[in-house]
Chains A and B, each alone.
Chain A
Amino acid sequence: MELFMKAAGAALIASVLGLALSKQSKDMQILLVIAGCCMVAGIAATFLRPVLELLGQLQAMGNLNSELTGILIRAAGIGLVSELACMICTDSGNASLGKTVQLLGSAAVLYLAIPVFRGLIELIQGILEGV
Chain B
Amino acid sequence: MEIDLIFKIAAIGIIVSILNQVLSRSGREEQATMTTLAGLVVVLMMLAQKIADLFDLVKELFQF
Contact = CB atoms under 8 A, between A and B. Distances in A.
B22 interface: no
Contacts, number: 101
Interface in B1-27: 1-3, 5-7, 9-10, 12-14, 16-17, 20-21
Interface residues of B, number: 34
A25 to B, nearest CB: 5
Give the interface residue-count category, chain A: 35 or more
B58 A21 contact: no
A28 B9 contact: yes
Nearest to B7: A17
A107 interface: no
A88 to B, nearest CB: 10
A60 interface: no
